[in-house]
Structure 1
Amino acid sequence: MRAEVMKFIVPFLIAGFLVTTCAGKLLNEEVTIEGEIIGPVLRLKCMVKMRNDGRGNFRGFQFAVPPSFKQTDLRVVEKDAPLVSLVVEENSPESMYTEFKIKLSDSIAPSKTKEFIIYLDILNAVTPVRDEVRHMEKPFYLMRALWSFFSPYETDLLKVIYRLNSEPVNIYEGAPKSARVDKRHIFLGPYSKIPPYSEKLFSARFLEKGPLLKMSLFEKKISISHWGAATVVEEVTIRNVGAKVTEFSRLEHFAADQTGGMVNTAKSLPVYLPKDAYNVYYEDLIGNITSSRLREPTASGRYFEPFFRFPLLGGWKNYYWFGYTMPLSGALKIHNGVYVVKVNAQPTVSDPLQVDKAFFRVTLPEGAYDVKLVETEPSVRALEAETSYPTLSYLGKKQFSAERSDFVADPASPAAIYIFYRFSSIHLLLPIAVLALILFAILVLVLVIRHSDLKIDRNSDKEDDDLALYKEIQKLVEVEKSFGKLADAFNNNVINYGNKDETVKYKQDQNRLIGTMKDSLKDLEYVYSEIVKLDAGEKGNAASVSALRKAIIDRYAKLGNVAVQLIEGKLTLKEAETDARKINDEIDICSERIVVAQSSLTSHL
């Protein structure tokens, strides 16, 4: 029974709540828009006085941006509380425009009014009239803007004021009604009874002397160490998106630099570092930054200005990075055992600057746990955490990253990223313990090496060499015995000549060959005896002795092969004598190597 009653009561309760909170009509009673140019950005300040013409209370309102503009994050405050930002949520309607929902801390009662200030930056609202200009030529630019108020509610009264950087200023297209140009200002309105979602555009043409700077890529890296400091590195890719300069002249450039007549040129990008920053440095890849200016801390921070050796002309870009160190007290706060790292979600700049893409990376100390990353801006998106393993790492350091796209970096902006984590001081001692353990292991290893014989045992190789040498010597013994057979064979061949002179010559050749081979055999025996002496001497000659053993075995084998082939008739006397002399020359080389080895042994002694 109770459940059935609730089925009927709940719908009525919900309907009553909706009528109380939503029934009614919001109206923009008065709107004043002030706009100014900051590089390629159109910065808007919309002062809106809203009135509730309905019967119910309004706990929020909506605001929209036309589809022809690309905006940054929206910031809304009440006029009476300018330091407290209201909660802004971006809706995703099916229409092409971007819509935001603003939640109020105090609702707007019927027939009551409340004043708000809406801060909004329109990106890439300023573009050059001509893509290219000559060097030192002042370029003209176009500003695209609204002369209406794009709101879901009707607007009773609207006034618009745009302030440009230089003159002359001309209305280029759109021809808004009630428009007036006064030097560098454009006054539009007042306009009345503007319908909802009214989008009326116009363009203004103006002359600009300064550069249009935009940071196309930025990356900030922060490393936290509980030993007492935090290091920061900021990588900057800056681009002058003004009209591209052609026909560059060094003479005109330096003349204008001396007289202060630089046009469409940036000579530096000053920043304000934290007050307690020290160990400041800068670097770049091509050496375009060779000097800088660093001042003492002030209320705004520590002024740092790196100078471009070659200035940034229209259409040019530059890449560099700078870094500094901060005391841990300036980068880290602790509350109830929880450490808090606050990271400004924008580059360190002294003046507002449009940024296309930015990355923020924070490396926490080893052993950090219960980590939580909190973003304060809708455009900031957290990335997946990574782990790195530096020297002496035992757990790995966690790096938490976030990215932010299409925004305006402003020193007055409160945009920040907060990282909360817990940390135990025991992890400060673990690296010391790991280092001590490594040193102890090295000491033990050194002691083991000093008391161990790690030399390679060559006995097995030596035994193999001796066996091979013995076999070759046995072969040569048989060869030496066959020298007599060789002489008999020669004598039989000589008898067949029948010519005394030929017989004598053949006999001389035979004796000379046999004598050469016997001399080689004696030289081999001598060399072998010297090798045996070396082997019995200093152990440092082991490598030389092994090489000589292998060489002498090879020569024994060659000499034996010549004798066998001669007996078998495969070689003539002349060919055999030639081969024997080559072997003899090789034996002489072995003898020289023995002398060198003996000299080395004598010097060691």
Structure 2
Amino acid sequence: MSSEIPAMGKMRFCAVFLFLILTICGSTNIDTISSDIKIKNVDRIIDCSSQLVKSTSKLTLENAGKVPIKNFLLAVESAAKDNLAFLGAKDSNNKELRLIETTVKGFDYIKFYRVELKDAINAGSSAVITTESVFTKSLIPYPTAITQQEDQLVKYNGNLYYFSPYYVTSQKTNVILNTKSVESFTKVKPFSQLDGTLIFGAYPNIGPFTEKELNVHFKNNSPFLTVSRIERLIEVSHWGNIAVEEKVEIEHTGAKLKGPFSRYDYQQDHHSGPASVRAYKTLLPASAADVYYRDTNGNISTSNMRVKKDSVELDLRPRYPLFGGWKTHYTLGYNVPSYEYLYHSGNEYLLKMRVIDHIFDDMQVDELVTKVILPELAHNIKVNFPYALTRLADSVHYTYLDTHGRPVISFTKKNVVENHIQDFQLRYTFPTIFMFREPLLVVASLYSLFLCVIIYVRLDFSIHKPEHPHKE
């Protein structure tokens, strides 16, 4: 009995220790709002000229406390957090700052990010930080359906004030529309309209988490193209080539087409279908070669491909124009030399390629799946992502002369925009001697075949041997 008590005590101690470890680890992403931080000034620009809403804010942070500040919080209101695709911050030296998603007790309905400063803000000092955020599907077509000849009108619903957990002394907001055709907008003095820009403020002394609805109803005939799904396949070869193939599903998510479509009017009148999409440009790597572009009906001409100094510009034209609610899908592929993306030291290899590449300007992607096919027998595979991605289960791909199959590394992400065009790093081990495995298999197969043929032609399979006449 006495021997069981110490054992039970050890178990309790281990349980308590594990609980404390989990509590500490779980609390690393819980922050508090510092009352020492104040924002002296906010200059905000909201760009609504495309299908995306891009917000750039120049913040002047002030340390009103007595100890240096090493980080601060950014907040995203509950109405906009589901549409947030990208958020970044830079200091006055244009250096990227690290952002960590976090929480604040009592504000579970708000999404927070902790911004780690490279240089602490001393007591009584200030610093200028620039933040950039991109929102998808924040411009709603209104009306939701239009005829072939009508312009597209959209509504933007946002916050008139900069949403922040800190007190803001003064702020000003410019909304860029790039059109003078504005049906209506929120009018809170002081405000003004200058060509295609709405100017709000400056507004003084705005408290933390202040919200006031900002509505703008205006004309926007920009291409409202959404990639509903893209599957990007990267096949790595150690014989000097990397093959890239993309299967793209696209939908026009603007105002739906009301009434019939007239091909005759569309071809005769270039002002017909102002909100439709006839073509768009895709940028490929400068070293891209053997480009092909096809849909379910077969190959589509790529005669509009232009080779530039730093890219290959491909003018993609679907078989039919895209109106609201219309869809299309196609396959785009090309080859690039491996020496530009694959590095090695001995048997250790490093692949640096983009998670996603350019599809069209101001693109928005609902779902991205990227698959990397490595050479057979590659092992010790490690992947580093530039931002949060979901890694899928590894699989195996078989092709010519494969016996074990080639490892396939897959990962996915939702709500992707151009800011996510960044490189991932994939490390793996592949002994150089394995490169001669498949050529040796071919040589051995041919040798075996020829050997069998030689043996076959030298064997006599006849049942009756011919009799030779006797010589007298």
- Could you tell me how far apart the structure 2 residues matched to 1:402 and 1:111 are? 46
1:351 to 326, 344, 361: 361
How many Å apart are 1:347 and its aligned residue? 3.3
Q: Which amino acid aligns with 2:330?
A: Y
2:171 to 155, 158, 169: 158
How many Å apart are 1:452 and its aligned residue? 6.9
Q: Which amino acid aligns with 2:251?
A: R
Q: Which amino acid aligns with 2:117?
A: L
Relative to structure 1, is the Cα distance of residues 62 and 345 closer, same or farther in structure 2, using a 3 angstrom cutoff?
same
- Could you tell me how far apart the structure 1 residues matched to 2:98 and 2:379 are? 30
Question: C-alpha root-mean-square deviation of aligned residues, in Å?
Answer: 2.5
How many Å apart are 1:348 and its aligned residue? 2.0
1:245 to 228, 239, 257: 257
Once the two structures are superposed, the pairs formed by residues 275-354 of structure 1 within 5 Å of their partners are 275-286=286-297, 289-299=300-310, 301-334=311-344, 338-354=348-364
Q: Which has the higher strand share?
A: 2
How many Å apart are 1:145 and its aligned residue? 2.0
1:55-107 Cα deviation digits (max 9, x unpaired): 11111110010110120231111022x1x311111114561121111111211
Match of 1:483 in 2: none
- Could you tell me how far apart the structure 2 residues matched to 1:38 and 1:336 are? 51
User: For 2:331, what is the secondary structure of its paired residue?
Assistant: strand
1:130-174 Cα deviation digits (max 9, x unpaired): 1211112112111122211111111111100010132311434x5
- Could you tell me how far apart the structure 1 residues matched to 2:153 and 2:251 are? 18
Q: Is structure 2 residue 36 aligned with structure 1 residue 25?
A: yes
Match of 2:210 in 1: 198
Q: Which amino acid aligns with 1:152?
A: P
Relative to structure 1, is the Cα distance of residues 24 and 309 closer, same or farther in structure 2, using a 3 angstrom cutoff?
closer
How many Å apart are 1:450 and its aligned residue? 5.5
The alignment's TM-score, normalised by the length of structure 1, stands at 0.67
Which structure would you say has the larger RCO, counting Cα contacts within 8 Å and 6 or more residues apart?
Answer: 2
Q: Which has the larger radius of gyration?
A: 1
How many Å apart are 1:422 and its aligned residue? 2.6
How many Å apart are 1:229 and its aligned residue? 0.8
User: For 1:442, what is the secondary structure of its paired residue?
Assistant: helix
User: For 1:265, what is the secondary structure of its paired residue?
Assistant: coil
Relative to structure 1, is the Cα distance of residues 167 and 292 closer, same or farther in structure 2, using a 3 angstrom cutoff?
farther
1:187-230 Cα deviation digits (max 9, x unpaired): 11111111111122221011123331121111211111111111
- Could you tell me how far apart the structure 2 residues matched to 1:241 and 1:454 are? 73
Match of 1:255 in 2: 268
Relative to structure 1, is the Cα distance of residues 184 and 23 closer, same or farther in structure 2, using a 3 angstrom cutoff?
closer
**1:39–1:214: 8 Å Cα contact kept in structure 2?**
no
**1:365–1:397: 8 Å Cα contact kept in structure 2?**
yes
Match of 1:435 in 2: 442
Once the two structures are superposed, the pairs formed by residues 36-75 of structure 1 within 5 Å of their partners are 36-37=47-48, 39-69=50-80, 70-75=83-88
1:102 to 104, 115, 135: 115
Q: Which amino acid aligns with 1:263?
A: P
- Structure 1 portions without partners, runs of 5+: 1-20, 458-605
User: For 2:184, what is the secondary structure of its paired residue?
Assistant: strand
Match of 1:123 in 2: 136
- Could you tell me how far apart the structure 1 residues matched to 2:244 and 2:363 are? 20
Q: Is structure 2 residue 418 aligned with structure 1 residue 409?
A: yes
**2:288–2:335: 8 Å Cα contact kept in structure 1?**
yes
Match of 1:529 in 2: none
How many Å apart are 1:321 and its aligned residue? 1.3
The alignment's TM-score, normalised by the length of structure 2, stands at 0.85
- Could you tell me how far apart the structure 1 residues matched to 2:354 and 2:326 are? 28
- Identical residues among aligned pairs (%): 23
Relative to structure 1, is the Cα distance of residues 335 and 447 closer, same or farther in structure 2, using a 3 angstrom cutoff?
closer
**1:23–1:56: 8 Å Cα contact kept in structure 2?**
no
Moved more, 85-94 or 199-208: 85-94
Relative to structure 1, is the Cα distance of residues 170 and 338 closer, same or farther in structure 2, using a 3 angstrom cutoff?
farther
How many Å apart are 1:429 and its aligned residue? 0.5
Q: Is structure 2 residue 427 aligned with structure 1 residue 420?
A: yes
